[in-house]
C-alpha cells in the first residue's frame, strides 16, 4: 500500500506537467506510454506461445498518433493498408508458429487498440478547451478509482466478475459512480474559476462526464484483466512499483480519451 501511494505521488506531478505543457512534450509522453504498453502486450501473449511482431504493432500505434499530429496528411490512408499487407506477408513467413492466423490478428488488434486510444488522448488535448477537459477526465477517473478502491477493500462483498478480476465488487463500483459524479462536478466548478473565463466545461457537464467515465471506463480495466487472466499474470509489467506496467495504468485512460472526446463533440 505504501509503495503504491509513493509511486502515485512521484508519478502524478510528471503526468500533470506533461498535460499542462502540452505540445510535443505531451505527445511524446503519450507515445512512450502506449509503445511501452505495446511491448508489455507482446510479452504477455508470448507466455501463451504467440510470437507477435513488435515492429508491426509499434508501426500501427505510431501511424494512428501521426494521423492526429499531422491531420492534413494521408498517414492512415496510405499506411494502414500497407501495414495490413506487410503483416500478412510476415505471418506467411512464420506460418509454423502457433496459430498463425490468431497471431496476425492479435498483432493488428493490439496496435489498433493502443494506437486509437492514444490518438484520442492527443485529439482531446488539442481541442479549444482540451486542457480543461483532459484535466477533468483523467483526475476524475483517479478520484473515482480511489473511491472504488477504498470502499471495495472495506465493504466489498459482491464480486462483479470474479473469474476476470476478483478484486472488483459491486459495492466498489457504486462508490466509483458516486465519487466520479462528485469529482466531475468539483473539477467542472474549479477549472473555469482557475481559467478566469467561461469554458465549454461547466459544473453540470463535469458531473455528467464524471458519471459517464466512472460507469464505463472500468470496462477498460476488465479488458486488460481478461488478457492478464488468460496468460496467467497479475500485472502487465513491473514498470511502476505497486501499480504494475504501462498497460495497467492506461487501461481506463484509453477509454477516457475516446469517451470524453465524443462527449465534448456531442455538446455541439
What's the pLDDT tens digit per position in 49-67? 898 999 999 999 999 999 9
Report the C-alpha dihedral over residues 125, 259, 32, 83, rounded to 10 degrees: -110
| Contact partners, residue 233, CB within 8 Å, separation at least 6 | 44, 47
> Is 90 exceeded by the pLDDT of residue 8?
no
What's the Rg (C-alpha) of the chain? 19
The beta-carbon contacts of 31-35 under 8 Å, at least 24 apart in sequence, are 31/61, 31/62, 31/65, 31/118, 33/118, 33/246, 33/249, 33/250, 34/61, 34/65, 34/114, 34/115, 34/117, 34/118, 34/246, 34/250, 35/61, 35/62
User: Is the predicted pLDDT of residue 241 greater than 80, yes or no?
Assistant: no
Supply 88's cell numbers: 500478412
Total domains in the fold of the chain: 1
On the question of pLDDT at 243 being above 70, the answer is no
Average pLDDT taken over every residue of the chain? 90
Contact 181, 156 (CB under 8 A): no
For residues 223-247, average pLDDT: 84
Q: What are phi and psi of 236, to 5 degrees?
A: -75, -20
| Residue 94 · residue 106 · CB < 8 Å | no
CA 194 to the chain's CA centroid? 27
Lowest mean pLDDT among 108-112, 123-127, 159-163, 255-259: 159-163
Domain that holds residue 207: 2-266
* Predicted confidence band of residue 240 (pLDDT cuts 50, 70, 90): low
> Is residue 95 predicted with pLDDT exceeding 70?
yes
Provide the pLDDT for residue 242.
Answer: 61
| CA-to-CA dists, residue 154 to 144, 157, 168, 226, 254, angstroms | 16, 9, 12, 24, 28
Share of the chain above pLDDT 70, in %: 95
**pTM of the complete model:** 0.93
C-alpha separations of 162 from 1, 118, 151, 176, 238 in Å: 22, 29, 17, 18, 23
**What is the pLDDT at residue 167?**
84
Decide if pLDDT at 12 tops 90. Answer: no
The answer on pLDDT for 1 being more than 60 is no
Cα–Cα dist 30/206, whole Å? 24
Percent pLDDT > 90 in the chain is 66
Select the more confidently predicted residue: 214 or 152: 214
pLDDT at 7: 60
Amino acid at each position: 500500500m505504501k509503495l503504491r501511494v509513493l509511486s502515485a505521488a512521484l508519478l502524478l506531478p510528471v503526468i500533470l506537467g506533461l498535460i499542462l505543457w502540452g505540445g510535443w512534450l505531451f505527445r511524446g509522453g503519450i507515445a512512450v506510454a502506449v509503445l511501452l504498453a505495446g511491448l508489455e502486450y507482446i510479452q504477455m501473449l508470448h507466455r501463451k506461445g504467440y510470437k507477435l511482431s513488435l515492429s508491426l504493432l509499434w508501426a500501427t500505434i505510431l501511424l494512428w498518433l501521426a494521423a492526429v499530429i499531422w491531420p492534413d496528411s494521408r498517414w492512415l490512408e496510405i499506411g494502414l493498408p500497407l501495414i495490413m499487407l506487410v503483416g500478412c506477408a510476415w505471418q506467411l513467413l512464420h506460418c509454423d508458429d502457433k496459430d498463425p492466423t490468431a497471431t496476425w490478428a492479435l498483432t493488428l488488434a493490439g496496435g489498433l487498440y493502443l494506437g486509437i486510444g492514444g490518438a484520442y488522448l492527443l485529439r482531446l488535448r488539442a481541442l479549444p478547451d482540451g486542457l480543461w477537459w483532459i484535466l477533468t477526465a483523467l483526475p476524475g477517473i483517479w478520484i473515482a478509482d480511489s473511491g472504488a478502491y477504498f470502499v471495495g477493500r472495506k465493504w466489498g462483498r459482491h464480486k462483479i466478475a470474479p473469474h476476470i478480476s476478483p478484486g472488483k465488487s459491486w459495492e466498489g463500483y457504486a462508490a466509483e459512480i458516486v465519487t466520479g459524479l462528485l469529482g466531475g462536478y468539483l473539477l467542472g466548478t474549479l477549472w473555469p474559476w482557475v481559467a478566469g473565463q467561461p469554458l465549454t466545461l461547466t459544473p453540470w457537464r463535469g458531473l455528467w462526464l464524471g458519471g459517464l467515465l466512472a460507469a464505463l471506463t472500468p470496462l477498460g480495466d476488465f479488458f486488460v484483466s481478461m488478457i492478464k487472466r488468460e496468460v496467467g499474470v497479475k500485472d502487465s509489467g513491473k514498470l511502476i512499483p505497486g501499480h504494475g506496467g504501462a498497460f495497467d495504468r492506461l487501461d481506463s485512460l484509453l477509454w477516457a480519451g475516446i469517451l470524453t472526446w465524443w462527449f465534448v463533440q456531442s455538446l455541439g
